[in-house]
Structure 1
Amino acid sequence: MTTTEERPHFVSLGMFIIDEFEYLDEDATFPCYWLATRLTICDVPIQIGGGGTYASIGARIWLPAKNVGMIIDRGVDFPQWIQERLDSYGPSMWLFRDHADRVTTRALNSYRGDLRGFRYLVPRIRITPRDLAGTPLARPTTLHFICSPSRALEIISEVREESDWNPITIYEPIPDRCVPEELPALRQVLPAVSILSPNAEEALALLSMPSDVSRSTVEEAALKFLEYGVGKDGEGSVIIRSGALGAYVTNRHERGQWIPAFWSDNPEKVVDVTGAGNAFLGGLGAGLLLAKKNVYEAALYATVSASFIIEQEGLPRISSDRWNDDSPQRRLEHLQEKMRH
């Protein structure tokens, strides 16, 4: 049996994806592709993608590589530059499963004006708690998963198969299944979820609320989720990630609190928000350890993690303990000071 000391703290069941891109004009003509060669008519590289990848990096910003992990299904086409980039964060955090009969999971992101489309180009390989058994990632203290409410029920069922494993569970509903039809399944799984964290649009869609995102509508949605009973005996928390508005954090015992977006006073620093929500939840998982399970303090760590993701396209750079040539601890202290005033 894996002892508590040997367990990783944060493991994501999210996937690793190689992202390709297609840009269309308003009439859906003249596409520009980012292809596997890394060179296109736009001369722009493919990107490392996947919610699990970004969540793991969000946790890695705060924790040693040995305390963070995820499974990566590595196909025959896996680019060397991606391998080197992942290794720069600490090789021990990635558990590779090699596949000699298929390529790495890829997805196409299509952009037309402000509209974004997403579709898989390769069949997905889903990761479940059973895949962690017998590996260095077995029985983590915090488990993050991104999926539909229906599949979340299956994940929780597998967690319960392991005796004496009661992880903190951070559930991030997948965007395209945040529909009213999934609400019954969500209500069924909520008692087994420590922290529920949709973004604002997803929360409102699940609850069939008007799509107007404001502080009042977000707070109303969070209250409804609490009433449905998040966590064992209703002891869980709801965090609704709301972009430039920040994140709303609440539970049954403390007054809800808004955590401001880190770059709210400096919006020109925001280059690409892709993966920011995933990284937020990875940072949250790390923060729960470092802040001794105080979810409000943990959300400050989460916000700092997201701040490093949105400063560039793709993942942030690491050098020693600095990310993008800055200190996470400095940003945390800045945010803590901001919250005091």
Structure 2
Amino acid sequence: MHFCTLGMFIIDEFVFLDDAGNPIATQPIAPQIGGGGTYASIGARLWLPPSQVGMIVDRGSDFPPSMESKLAEFGDIWLYRNQASGTTRALNTYRGDHRSFDYITPRIRITPRDLEGTPLQKPTTLHFICSPTRASAIMSEVEQVSEWRPIVIYEPIPDRCVPEELSALTKVLPQIDILSPNAEEALSLLSLPLPPSKESIEEAASKLLKLGVGSEGKGAVLIRSGSMGVCVAFKNQPMRWVPAFWTSKDKDKIVDVTGAGNSFLGGLAAGLFLQNGDIYEASFHASIAASFVIEQQGLPAVSTDNGTTLWNGDNPQRRLDELRQRVGIDN
């Protein structure tokens, strides 16, 4: 098993308000498949067979059969645990241009101990989304498992990307192989001014590296920067950028960016597997994974054509080749 996430499966519900907080009369949106772990798993699955991807899904009696059918399309990558308390649900409230996210049921968190004795135990790459304090607790559990030192991809949770959390983040960074906030989160953590620019993003990446990401000089910081692409920073090496496949010029292709960052990191993990640990090369796989997620609301469609697996009717390898050509890399 190469990739496993500790992120959750969530059923997302939606409310739309105007700037004054009054409900907007729109066509109701049915509850949708959500959760950072779900999207990260899809990002990895886009490149890897089901046998190399896994995630625990806590399934309550309220779990919609239509969602289970949709998840089944991606293969046997879901380890279901039945929960009498119900499935985790969250409310996404859109007020003008602002989006807020609130859990409306108790969260059922997943820890490394939950993987023991399952097909998901000891994956070679572990992804999680949480606060710095919880990241430390997760890494303490990882260290207690004998003969397991996974590649660790840490995605800090957005509402904890504030200066007050920087001290707790610094404590766990030596145990993290890849740290990946988005641009706004990185600047917020470091009290740098918004909006992001390439210069400020590179400054943030440099500062985060200096805080001690990784051990033995092997850590990396990847700052996900929307249509600007991703800033890839390594210790003692020049900073590099990998472009987004869809950019601000492709507005008709960008439908919903929900889950884009999560799927990027799942795609990154898959790229590490396919590119022998080369983080820069893996970032191209990550960018392509995100490109498929933002083309629609919810998860992409997967199909097969003459033995080739297609996503939204397109071949990920074709997009990868095109993206590499844009930056002058021969395929």
Interval containing the TM-score (normalised by the shorter chain):
over 0.9
Does residue 1:18 correspond to 2:11, yes or no?
Answer: yes
**Aligned equivalents of 2:124, 2:20: Cα separation in 1:** 49
Structure 1: how far apart are the matches of 2:230 and 2:251? 16
Contact 1:226/1:234, CA 8 A, preserved across alignment: no
Which residue number in structure 1 is paired with residue 178 of structure 2?
195
Residues 178 and 206 of structure 1 are in contact (CA less than 8 Å); yes or no, is this contact kept in structure 2? yes
Tell me if the contact between 1:10 and 1:286 (Cα under 8 Å) persists in the aligned partners: yes
Q: Counterparts of 1:148 and 1:55 in 2: how far apart (Å)?
A: 17
In structure 1, what is the equivalent of residue 257 of structure 2?
A: 273
Please say if residues 192 and 232 of structure 1, whose CA atoms lie closer than 8 Å, have aligned partners that are also in contact.
yes
Q: Does 1:28 align with 2:21?
A: yes
Residues in 1 aligned to 2:325 and 2:154: alpha-carbon distance in whole angstroms = 29
Cα distance per residue 1:262-309 (max 9 Å; x no partner): 111423211100000000000000000101111000000000000000
- 1:177 partnered with 2:165: no
Q: Residue 319 of structure 1: SS of its match in structure 2? A: strand
Structure 2 CA distance, aligned partners of 1:219 and 1:289? Answer: 26
Query: 2:263 is paired with a residue of what secondary structure?
Result: helix
2:111, 2:318 → 1: CA distance? 36
Match of 2:289 among 300, 305, 319: 305
Residue in 1 that maps onto 2:312: 324
The alignment partner of 1:144 has SS state of strand
SS in structure 2 of the partner of residue 277 of structure 1 = helix
What is the DSSP-based 3-state SS (H/G/I as helix, E as strand, rest coil) of the residue aligned with 2:327? helix
Distance in 2, Cα, partners of 1:270 & 1:30 = 25
Taking the TM superposition and a 5 Å limit, the aligned residue runs for 1:239-250 are 239-250=222-233
Mapped partners of 1:185, 1:72: distance in 2? 29
Q: Which residue of the partner structure matches residue 3 of structure 1?
A: none
Conserved in 1, the CA contact under 8 Å of 2:217 and 2:235?
yes
Identify the residue that residue 213 of structure 2 maps to in structure 1.
Answer: 230
Shift of 1:43: 4.2
CA contact (8 A) 2:14 2:29 kept: no
1:38-76 Cα shifts (integer Å, max 9, x gaps): xxx724321100000000000000000111011000001
Query: Quick check: 179-188 or 22-31, which moved more?
Result: 22-31
Question: How far apart, in 1, do the equivalents of 2:90 and 2:28 lie?
Answer: 19
CA shift at 1:31, angstroms? 4.8
Q: Distance in 1 between matches of 2:18 and 2:202?
A: 37
Partners of 2:47 and 2:195 in 1: how far apart? 34
Q: Which amino acid aligns with 2:281?
A: E
Alpha-carbon distance in structure 1 between the residues aligned to 2:104 and 2:29: 19
Give aligned-pair identity as a percent.
59
Unpaired segments ≥5 residues, structure 1:
1-7, 33-40
Normalization by structure 2: what TM-score?
A: 0.96
Asked if the contact 1:23–1:31 (Cα under 8 Å) also holds between the matched residues in 2, the reply is yes
Letter in 2 for 1:278: N
Take 2:212 and 2:234, find their aligned partners in 1: how far apart are those partners?
10
8 Å CA contact 2:91, 2:103 repeated in 1:
yes
Other-structure match for 1:205: 188
Aligned 8 A contact 1:24 1:111 in 2? yes
**What's the TM-score, normalizing by structure 1?**
0.93
Contact 1:235 1:251 in 2 (8 A): yes
Distance 2:132 2:123 in 1: 21
Shift, 1:310, TM fit: 0.4
Question: Could you tell me how far apart the structure 1 residues matched to 2:225 and 2:23 are?
Answer: 33
Query: What is the alpha-carbon root mean square deviation over aligned residues?
Result: 1.1
CA–CA distance in structure 1, aligned partners of residues 20 and 209 of structure 2: 44
Look up the match of 2:112: 129
> Could you tell which deviates more after superposition, 246-255 or 65-74?
246-255
Kindly indicate whether residue 263 of structure 2 is the aligned counterpart of residue 263 of structure 1: no
Q: Does 1:315 align with 2:299?
A: yes
Aligned to 1:234, what secondary structure does the other structure show?
coil
Tell me, in whole angstroms, the C-alpha distance in 2 between the residues paired with 1:159 and 1:267.
Answer: 42
Alignment size in residue pairs: 324
